[in-house]
């Protein structure tokens, strides 16, 4: 499905360029840092499995891990179109205080077990700049997100995982307040809520622009999940981030 997002981006870019009558400016963006889970509840199946936690102080404590995300795209006047790859991989060990039924396998209480949580997303985003004044930029748009997620539990002699691939449409936004000189404070993200669940991926960062480069440091929260018959999973993932964008 992420190949379909790339094809869509390539098809839309020339049309936007003609519509705006400008030459596109391409941007490559890289972000890295550390990610950890402060909340992560799991129940598979969502109605008959055992609900357990994969976070600090829970049944399984997932270790803090490094992360890297990449974005490539371009701006065409007030239009912006970009692709983002944002993987998250967390793992850890623990001993549950009670027996866990997970995907119809029984994991015994008090036994050593290993947990793995993966949440990879591929995104195609279009934004339109509504406001662009010396002190403020405001852009709104839509994101087509494809998730490739997996929750795995393992004990000696047995291992199973719940994988989920799906499409989620999100609202997208960026607000940047210029603080004077090369500095700005930005709020950038995708978010949407529905009856079955919700998703938010929002970053607050201090930016420093110099030439074609923009550096940033800040905090990102990835929060949300779903509560359906197949799976219950809600997570709160914290990111401490540093990033750089190069426009050319």
Which residues have C-beta within 8 Å of that of residue 74, sequence separation ≥ 6?
13, 24, 25, 26, 27, 80, 81, 82
pLDDT value, residue 110: 82
Domain range enclosing 119: 2-129+145-169+217-247
pLDDT of residue 245 exceeding 60: yes
195 domain residue, yes or no: no
pLDDT value, residue 22: 64
pLDDT value, residue 21: 54
Considering its fold, how many domains does the chain have in total?
1
Q: What does the pLDDT look like over 106-155, one tens digit per residue? A: 999 888 899 999 999 999 999 999 999 999 999 999 999 999 999 999 99
pLDDT (average), residues 4-33: 65
Which residues is 206 bridged to in the sheet?
185, 217
> 130-156: string of b/e by CB count within 10 Å (b at 16+)?
eeeeeeebbbebebbbbbbbebbbbbe
pLDDT of residue 15 exceeding 80: no
189 domain residue, yes or no: no
Q: What does the pLDDT look like over 172-184, one tens digit per residue? A: 999 999 999 999 9
Which residues have C-beta within 8 Å of that of residue 236, sequence separation ≥ 6?
37, 38, 39, 40, 55, 221, 222, 223
**pLDDT band (50, 70, 90) for residue 1:** very low
97 domain residue, yes or no: yes
208 domain residue, yes or no: no
194 domain residue, yes or no: no
The whole-model pTM stands at 0.88
187 domain residue, yes or no: no
Q: What is the CATH number of the domain that holds 95?
A: 2.40.160
pLDDT value, residue 150: 97
pLDDT of residue 23 exceeding 90: no
116 domain residue, yes or no: yes
Average pLDDT of every residue of the chain = 90
**pLDDT band (50, 70, 90) for residue 104:** confident
pLDDT of residue 99 exceeding 70: yes
Q: Cα separation of 21 and 46, whole Å?
A: 51
138 domain residue, yes or no: no
Q: What does the pLDDT look like over 195-224, one tens digit per residue? A: 888 999 999 999 999 999 999 999 999 999
């Amino acid at each position: 499905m992420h190949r379909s997002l790339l094809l869509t981006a390539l098809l839309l870019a020339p049309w936007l360029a003609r519509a705006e009558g400008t030459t596109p400016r391409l941007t490559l963006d890289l972000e890295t840092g550390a990610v950890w889970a402060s909340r992560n509840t799991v129940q598979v199946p969502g109605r008959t499995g055992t609900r357990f936690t994969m976070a600090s102080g829970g049944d399984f404590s997932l270790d803090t891990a490094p992360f890297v995300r990449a974005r490539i795209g371009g701006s065409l006047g007030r239009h912006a179109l970009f692709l983002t790859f944002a993987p998250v991989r967390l793992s850890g060990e623990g001993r549950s205080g009670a027996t866990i039924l997970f995907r119809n396998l029984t994991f015994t209480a008090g036994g050593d077990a290993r947990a793995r949580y993966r949440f990879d997303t591929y995104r195609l985003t279009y934004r339109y700049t509504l406001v662009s004044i010396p002190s403020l930029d405001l852009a709104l748009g839509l994101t087509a997100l494809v998730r490739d997620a997996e929750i795995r539990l393992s004990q000696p002699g047995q291992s199973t995982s719940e994988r989920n691939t799906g499409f989620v449409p999100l609202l997208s936004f960026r607000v940047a307040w210029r603080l004077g000189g090369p500095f700005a404070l930005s709020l950038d993200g995708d978010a949407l809520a529905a009856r079955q669940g919700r998703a938010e991926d929002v970053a607050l960062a201090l930016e420093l622009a110099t030439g074609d480069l923009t550096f940033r440091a800040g905090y990102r929260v990835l929060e949300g999940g779903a509560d359906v018959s197949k799976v219950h999973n809600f997570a709160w993932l914290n990111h401490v981030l540093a990033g750089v964008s190069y426009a050319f």
